[in-house]
Amino acid sequence: MMTSKLRLLPALLLSAALGACTVGDQGTGGPDNTAADSGVDLADASGEVALAWAEATAGIAGIAAEMHFVSPTEIYAVINNKICMWNGAEWVDHTIDAIGITSSMHFVSPTQIYSVVGNVVQMWDGAVWTPMTEPQVGINLAGAAEFHWVSDNEMYAVVDGTRICKWTGILGGGGAWADYTEIVTDLGYAIHFVSQNEIYATVGLKVCKWTGILGGGGAWADLTPDTPDLEDAIHVVSDTEIYAQIGEKICEWDGTTWTDLTADMPGLKPVFHYVSDEDIYAIAGIAVNHWALPAQ
């Protein structure tokens, strides 16, 4: 069952609210190189104003389905063979080229960023890319990769679209990859890591949760029913508060029902940053877009 929770705000609150929720400099990107305009951005006859999608960055060719949001003037994205940063006015190179970089990134700081390059996790230290793990076949299946960094000797990654593997140790000092979850045939490339015994992921058309240890009672459990058009993009607060991309919109699972949070956004890629129901960033087409009150 799917319901709608699209927000309408009284027009009298618009001017005050706009001061707290405005998007960054507008670009000319978007799915078809036109500005996004999904939702109602003017008060209707009832005096209410709807949230809407609008570009938060300029469009840039080669942007992948990966981003890290710090603020409206500090957004990192994988673009072609490097990571670039939106500074509020333009995209600037943040790293040098890393041939084979995938749409995966774990951001710790501007000088500590991890990404899958080829079939190895590498780290950007502000000057160079450095391998941090041994190669792992299947970590970059069909150009898709997803991993979670805990420390340089503890990382988790989706491998072959069937299981999560764990890296332990130090490269050159006994480090190795090992299976961490049981095999499922359709594990997606969206994981949300809480702890070693609590990992969320898309499995087929469901959001599932791994609990326990492989060989010690660990198992995958369904949290949602099959959901047509469920994409590999999730944000988990709890078992009964899960945000996910379904088709071309962001939705919320409350333990019983999926609810629409946003209007459709053509060209939406499977990556988003959730701040609140009225403040969501996502990549659509060739630009980062913002779901919020319309800008003045």
Mean pLDDT score of the chain, rounded to an integer? Answer: 87
Q: Which residue is it, tokens 């069952």?
A: 1
> What is the residue type of 45?
A
Are 165 and 187 spatial neighbours (Cβ–Cβ below 8 Å)? no
CA 195, 233, 71, 92 torsion-angle sign = positive
Checking if the pLDDT of 17 tops 60, the result is: no
Mean pLDDT of 115-122: 95
CA dist 54 → 106, 199, 250, 285 (Å): 26, 32, 15, 12
CA distance 58 to 38: 17
pTM: 0.85
Q: Which pLDDT belongs to residue 21?
A: 27
Q: Which pLDDT belongs to residue 215?
A: 81
CA distance 218 to 220: 7
Mean pLDDT of 28-49: 45
Specify the 3-state DSSP secondary structure of 20.
helix
More confident residue, 174 or 92: 92
Q: Please name which of 186, 198, 76 lies closest in space to residue 141, comparing C-alpha atoms.
A: 186
Q: How confident is the model at residue 34 (pLDDT cuts 50, 70, 90)?
A: very low
Q: Which pLDDT belongs to residue 153?
A: 95
pLDDT digits (tens, 9 = 90+) for 236-251: 999 999 999 999 999 9
Q: Which residue is it, tokens 């943040």?
A: 94
Are 194 and 200 spatial neighbours (Cβ–Cβ below 8 Å)? yes
pLDDT digits (tens, 9 = 90+) for 202-245: 999 999 999 988 888 889 999 999 999 999 999 999 999 999 99
Class of the CATH domain delimited by 2-292: mainly beta
Residue 220 forms beta bridges with which residues? 210
Percentage, residues of the chain above pLDDT 90: 75
Alpha carbon of residue 280 to chain centroid = 11
